[in-house]
Amino acid sequence: MKQNLNFDWKYKDTFNPDYISHGIKDGVSIDIPHTVKEVPYNYFNEKDYQIISSYEKVFDMEDDIVDKVIILRFDAFMLKARIYLNEEMLGFYQSGYVPVEIDVTGIVKQKGNRLLVVLDSSEDPDIPPFGYAVDYLTFSGIYREVSISTHPKTYIKDIFVYGDMSGNIKVSFTKVGDSKSFDFKNELYDMDGNLVSTFRGEENIKSPHLWSVDDPYLYTVKTIITSGDGTETYVTRTGFRSIKFTTTGFYLNDKKLKLRGLNRHQSYPIMGYAASKSLQEDDANLLKNMIGVNVVRTSHYPQSEHFLNRCDELGLLVINEIPGWQHIGESKKWREAYLEDVRLMVINERNHPCLIAHGVRIDESQDDHALYSEGNKLAHELDPYRPTIGVRNFTDSELLEDIYGYNDFSNWQFDSIGLMNPNKVKGAKNKPYLVTEYLGHMGPTKPTSDQFLKTDHCLRHLRVINDSNKYDRTCGAIGWCFSDYHTHADFGTGDHICPHGVLDINRNPKHAYAAYASQQDKFPVMEVISNMKPGELSGAIFSDIYVVTNCDYVELYKNDEFIGKFYPNTQKLFPNLEHPPILIDDIVGPTFKEDKIPEKYWKKIAKCYSYAAIHGFDNITFKMKVFLGFIMSRYKISYAQLVAWWNKYVGSWGGIAKFYKFIGYKDGKEVKQAVLGPSKTFRLEVKQSKLVLENKETYDSSRISLRYLDTNGELMQYASKVVHIEVSGPIRLVGDNYQSLLGGQLSIYINSLNKKGTGKIKITLEDIVKEIQIEVR
C-alpha cells in the first residue's frame, strides 16, 4: 500500500546537526513539490538556491507494518541528500531527475516517525549534467513527490508491460523475497473496466483496440501475486501499438507518420522545477491541443511521470533523454551516474505507450565508444522493444544507437534552407534519421521583441516544417523549443532566460506557435503575424502581410469595407506544407473611389497603392510609375493629391489609422476573426487551466493566463503593466502580489493548501478588476 508523504513538512534553508536528534525547531511549514528558493522571473543569481537545506516530515504509518517490507521513495530531488529516519542515517543519495528508493524496513515505526532530508542543491561536477556549461538551470528542492509503501516480504518490482499492434502482450517483473510458494496472474482490463483476459506472462489479444495519436486507447493490467507472505496487486497502464523508425520514415502501427514536435524543458518562473501534477499535465495539453504537435522530446533529462501519463492519455509521442548537455565527465563517478540514469530512466518510463525511443546519449556530446556502448546495451537489455537514439550536432559520428538524431541549425533566415539534406549527414547513412532540434539560438525571440522578429520567428519554423515534409528520408523534426526557459549566465539574453520558445516562459503564445497549429486540421487557427501599425514599420511601409492559418481562405475588411478574399498563395516558398500561409498583397482593393478619375482606373490605382504599402512608394514597378504618371498628367492630379489619397486609403505615416478585419473560413463557414487597429479601450482576458483543485497525493495548481487585449481582442504586445493579485481562502499565490505583464501577457500560479473550501482571487490592473473563485476539494 502506498502512502503519500507530501503535505506538512518542516523546512529550513540551512542545516544544523541538532536537527538529527531534536528536529527542526524554527522551520516553516511547506508541501512537496518544493523549491528551496523562489526566484524572480529574471535577473537573479543561480547560486541563491544552490544551498544546503533541511526538510523534516513526522508521520505515522497508515498500514500495519508487521512482517512487511517498507520502501521510502523520492520521485526526484535536486541534487544530493543525506537522509535520516528516526535519527538513523539511511545514507547518501543522489537524484537530480530520477527516483530514489530506500528500503526502510526495521527502521520505520508504526507511529511517530521522523524523516530528515539534508539536501544539497549545488551543482556537482561529478554528476550529470554538470561539469561544464549547461544551457538550462536545474533549480533545487524536493521537487517531485515523496511516498512510502508497504509490501509483503515477498513482492515484485520493476514491472514491465509491453503490448504491440498484433495484440501480443508481455508482462515481466523482478521478484524480491524468498517465499517458497509464489504465484502470479495478470488481468487485462479495457477502458470501461471490463476484464478482457487473464493470463500469466504472455498473451495474444484478438483485435485489440490500438493506441494511436488520434485514438490513445489505454488498457490496464493488474498483476496479482500470491505467496506465503501474502498477496499484492500492482496496476500498470498500457496500450497496444507498434513503432518503427526506418530509412524512409517513422511508422506507428504500420502507418507512416511524419514526426512534428517540440523540445520541452520542465522549469517554470518563480517555482523553478517544483511544479505539481496539473502543471505537468497542462504542458502536455498545450502541446497537443493548442500547438497541435504529435511528438515531444523531454530535453535534456527524464521528466515527470505526470507529464508522461498525460501524453499517454492524449496520444502525444515522447522521446526521452538522460540528463546532460554537451559534456561527458571524466570521473568514474560521473560515468557511473550516467549509466544509473540510463537504467532508472528506462525502468521508470518503459511502460508508457507514448514513449517511442530512449535518448541514451548526452545531448550534443562527442563520441565515446566505451561509455555509449554500455549505455546502449543497458537500454536494450532493459527494453528490447524500443529503439535508442543519440543526439549530435555534427554530421559524422559513430552511431551506436538505432536512430541518428541530429540538431540541424542550418536555417539562418526564413527564406534560406530550412533543413540540411539528410543525405549529407554521413553518420546517418542507411540508418533512421530524425532532426531532434532546429532554430533555437538561430532565432531568439522574446515576448517583448519587436514585431519583425516575431514574424520572422514564425516563418522560420514554417520553413523548417516545410523541409521536414520534403525529405522522406527524415522521420521528422522536433523544434527548439516549446517554451522559453531559465538558463545559466553563459546563455540566454543575460537575464537567465533563453527566449527560444514558441510560447513564453509562462506558456503564453508567441506567433510561432501558429507555425505548428496551422499544420493540423483538428481545430481552426488564424494568426495574423504582421503588424498593421505603421508607426512600428520602417518608413511606415507595411511589409508582407502573412496570415498563418489552416483556413481555406481569409477575407479582409478595412474599416468594414470589403478589400478581398485571399487564398493560401505561398506554395512557391512553402511547397511542402499542408497549409501554406496566406500572403496578402492588397489592402486597398475596391475601397478606392475618387470622382476626379474615371472608375475604370480605380482598381489599377488601388493595386499600385497596395503594392507601395508593402514595398515602399519608391519601389513600385516601372509600369506602375508610368501608369501613375499618366493619371497625374491626364487628370491633373498633383503629387500632393496622390499622397493625400495614400494617407486616406493606406493610412501610413501622416494618415488616420485604419481597422483591419480578417475573417477565416473553413468549409464555407466563418471560423476565426481578428481585428487589428487603433486601440482605445482595454480589457484583461483571464483563462485558467483549472477552477477546481483537488488535493490528492499533494496540492493542486491552476495556471491563470492573463492577456491584456483591446476590445477587439488584439494583444497589446508592448504592455508591461503591473498586476496586483490578492488571494484568500485555502489557496496560495506563487510569487509576489505584484507581477508585471510581459509582452502584454502573464500567467499567475495558484496552489491549493491542505484544506477544503473556496479560494478567492482578485486581480487588479489599473481600473480593471477581475475576481475568480477556485474550489479546493
- Note the residues at the interface with ligand GAL (CB under 6 A): 135, 300, 363-364, 393, 407, 437, 440-441, 480, 500
CB of 398 to ligand GAL, least distance (A): 19
| Residue 270 C-beta: closest distance to ligand GAL, Å | 22
Whether residue 617 contacts residue 646, with contact meaning beta carbons closer than 8 Å, is answered with yes
Residue 364 a catalytic site member: yes
For ligand GAL, give the closer residue by CB, 129 or 216.
Answer: 129
User: The C-alpha cell of 576 is what?
Assistant: 511542402
Grid cell, residue 473, equals 528520408
| Choice between 214 and 490, CB closer to ligand GAL | 490
Query: Min. distance of Cβ 440 from ligand GAL in angstroms?
Result: 2
DSSP output for 116-182? EEEEE-S--TTSTT-SS--SS----BS-S-EEEEEEESSEEEEEEEEE-TTSEEEEEEEEES--S-E
Three-state SS for 365-402 is CCCCHHHHHHHHHHHHHHCCCCCEEEEECCCCCCCCCC
Residue 323 or 759 having the CB closest to ligand GAL: 323
Closest residue to ligand GAL, based on beta-carbon distance: 440
- Specify whether 437 is catalytic: yes
Catalytic option among 56, 232, 281, 437 = 437
The secondary structure element, H or E, covering residue 407 is: strand 403-407
Virtual torsion, Cα 364, 365, 371, 374, nearest 10 deg: 0
731: exposed, middle or buried (Cβ count in 10 Å: 0-12, 13-18, 19+):
buried
- What is the dihedral sign for C-alpha 399, 401, 403, 408? negative
Which residues face 761 on adjacent strands?
A: 727, 772
Nearest to 481 by CA among 443, 455, 448: 443
- Length reported for the chain: 777
Report the first-to-last Cα separation within the chain, whole angstroms.
23
Q: Please say which residue, 155 or 406, places its beta carbon nearer to ligand GAL.
A: 406
Contact yes or no for 324/338 (Cβ under 8 A): yes
Nearer to ligand GAL, 328 or 725 (CB): 328
- Rank residues 407 and 751 by Cβ distance to ligand GAL and give the closer one: 407
- How far apart are alpha carbons 487 and 493 in whole angstroms? 9
Closest distance of CB 269 from ligand GAL, Å: 19
Partners of 182 in the beta sheet?
227
Residue closer to ligand GAL by CB (options 231, 366) is 366
DSSP reduced 3-state for 526 = strand
Q: How far is the CB of 323 from ligand GAL (least distance, A)?
A: 12
Write the burial class of residue 456 (CB in 10 Å: 0-12 exposed, 13-18 middle, 19+ buried).
Answer: buried
Least separation in angstroms between residue 429's CB and ligand GAL is 23
Q: Is the peptide bond prior to 509 cis by the omega test (within 30 degrees of 0)?
A: no
For residue 777, give every residue at least 6 positions away whose Cβ sits within 8 Å of its Cβ, in sequence order, or none: 692, 693, 694, 695, 756
Minimal distance, residue 488 CB to ligand GAL, in Å: 10
Cβ(533)–Cβ(452) under 8 Å?
no
CB of 363 to ligand GAL, least distance (A): 5
364, 401, 527, 697: which is the annotated catalytic residue? 364
C-alpha separations of 144 from 62, 80, 304, 649 in Å:
21, 14, 8, 59
Residue closer to ligand GAL by CB (options 320, 407) is 407
Nearer Cβ to ligand GAL, position 46 or 594? Answer: 46
Nearer to ligand GAL by Cβ, of 306 and 327: the residue is 327
Spatial separation of the C-alpha atoms in residues 490 and 67, rounded to whole Å? 54
Smaller CB separation from ligand GAL, 115 or 137: 137
The one-letter amino acid code at 347 reads: I
Burial class (CB in 10 A: 0-12, 13-18, 19+), 711: exposed
State phi, psi for 554 to the nearest 5 degrees.
-130, 135
Least separation in angstroms between residue 128's CB and ligand GAL is 14
Question: Residue 362 CB, nearest distance to ligand GAL (Å)?
Answer: 10
Neighbours of 583 (CB within 10 A): 16
Determine which helix (DSSP H) or strand (DSSP E) holds 22, and give its type and residue range: helix 18-22
CB of 587 to ligand GAL, least distance (A): 36
Catalytic residues: 364, 437
